[in-house]
Structure 1
Amino acid sequence: MRSLVLCLLTVVAFGSCLKLPSSFKKCDRKRTDFNQCLSDAIYGALKILDKPLPSHGLPSLYDIEFPDEVATIGNRTYGLLQTYYRPRCIGLSKPENINAKLEFGPLTSTLTIEATYSQLTVETGFEAQGTIVLLPVNVVTPFEYTLVNPTYTFTFELEEYEKGTTYFRVIDSKLDMQAHGLKLDYKQLFSNKILNDEFNSAMNVKWREIFALSKSIDEDVFAPLFGTIVNGFLKRVPVADLFDG
């Protein structure tokens, strides 16, 4: 009864009394195999997140939409103004492998998660105004690209703070994306289906160049968004409930 009262008082005072779900693996930071345990724990957690876990601030990572996000490339005066909006990432809860490490420091700690996949798909809305080789373009169409055998490496810088007990929060996040292939599909860029298909085929032949151009834009867009997701979880679960030791 005393622990229940204490928990209720903590909820009132600090807004949180959550522990890890029983399905989440807990690791001992003092063990030499801590990072391997952490890798297994994150792998298992991602598998669970086919469905959202709202009590812990976690959305489904199988199909996650960022409705407020917009990226703009180019301009209509000298070529083509392109706007990509409302991206949806599909497949993040289905990693083939996870390698994670957490380096604890006196001021900040660094969490690195390297996740490999067979494929990941991003769907967005797409608008374009301008010209392609003198052909006028003014179009709104769905757009989809699929990364083949990608590796996403997330880096989160964490700091501890006190709110009745010790918590982590993300103060910086980075993302590095690598892939062995890229398939692009502008669904209705041109009304002529043959022309549309030929355009997509020509773009896919040049996937390496396109990936090199778009990589930094995607990384800059998605890194802070995933930092926000991780923060939503960390502010609900004390460090002592994340790790032993």
Structure 2
Amino acid sequence: MKPVVILAFVLCAQSVKLPPNFQKCNRKDPNLNECVLRAAQHGLPQLTKPFRSLNLPSLDPLEISKVHIGAGGGSVSMEQDFHNCSIYGFEKLKYSLYVFDFEAKTLNVKGFYDKILIKCRYQLEGQVLQLPITGSGPAVITLENMDFSHFLNYEEVKKNGKTYIKFVKSLVGIEPKLVTFHFGNLFNGDKVLGDNINAVLNDNWKEVFTDMSKDLNETINQIIMNLLNGFFAKVSIEEAFD
């Protein structure tokens, strides 16, 4: 089962001009890649408030209604459902690469996160190293020192004499150096069992993250695809790259 991601904002279709506080680049600029990288880095931290005219929600925090993480087939296998999630730090990505290839119709992004904090309500059931695990309640997941990469393909859509970008395919990669978990109310609130299992999860975080990584990558992929497609449904290539 693929993860389900629901963003708490509504996409609109009519074209708008880019606000003056967002930097623009010219496609004829010989240093276009450097300009786009600066513009992306300048724009992302501004998203601590919503820009409704650009189809952009606040990223501080980014609110996600529902995510499903399927169970893997290894020594860690947990079926997980998360609800009412708040993701903190999403707007603090430090870009190292942000390259549009207008001939190949691709976007290549790389960067680094110091920390991503995820707070949700959860329900899970499965096993960790042959130990059963079940519970529901509050969850906190922290990803630290994380390399991020995203490669996207897009199509051009002509509308009212303007050209718009629609991303149709993409691949995300995340590689944290540390992941910590805390699932509250495991085993119906049994503190001893809950503390022990949380300790096992954190001692074996690489195995737990591997179990989650396929659906987690796809979840992040959907989030960013929704954000970018929302933005470029409003802002034409001619407007973004004058």
User: If the length of structure 1 is used for normalisation, what is the TM-score?
Assistant: 0.82
Unaligned runs of 5+ in 2: 1-11
Q: 1:149 aligns with which of 129, 142, 145?
A: 145
Task: Letter of the 2:197 partner, please give it.
Answer: F
Q: How many residues align?
A: 226
Alpha carbons 1:97, 1:117 under 8 Å: kept: no
Alpha carbons 2:63, 2:87 under 8 Å: kept: yes
Encode CA deviations 1:75-103: one digit per residue, 9 max, x unaligned.
9xxx9762222343221111234421111
- Is 1:195 the equivalent of 2:208? no
Task: Letter of the 1:166 partner, please give it.
Answer: T
Q: Which residue of 2 is the match for residue 41 of structure 1?
A: 39
Alignment of 1:1-245 (within 5 A): 16-73=14-71, 82-86=79-83, 87-105=85-103, 108-129=104-125, 138-164=134-160, 165-190=162-187, 191-244=189-242
Distance 2:163 2:196 in 1: 57
Describe the shift of the 1:224–1:212 C-alpha distance in structure 2 as closer, same or farther (beyond 3 A).
same
Secondary structure class of the residue paired with 2:169: strand
Describe the shift of the 1:92–1:98 C-alpha distance in structure 2 as closer, same or farther (beyond 3 A).
farther
Distance 1:230 1:198 in 2: 41
Distance 1:81 1:122 in 2: 18
Rg larger for: 1
Describe the shift of the 1:169–1:141 C-alpha distance in structure 2 as closer, same or farther (beyond 3 A).
same
Distance 1:80 1:30 in 2: 51
> Percent sequence identity over matched residues?
25
Secondary structure class of the residue paired with 1:69: strand
Task: Letter of the 1:113 partner, please give it.
Answer: V
Alpha carbons 2:142, 2:181 under 8 Å: kept: yes
Alpha carbons 2:114, 2:145 under 8 Å: kept: yes
Unaligned runs of 5+ in 1: 1-13
Structure ranking higher on relative contact order (CA contacts 8 Å, 6+ apart): 2
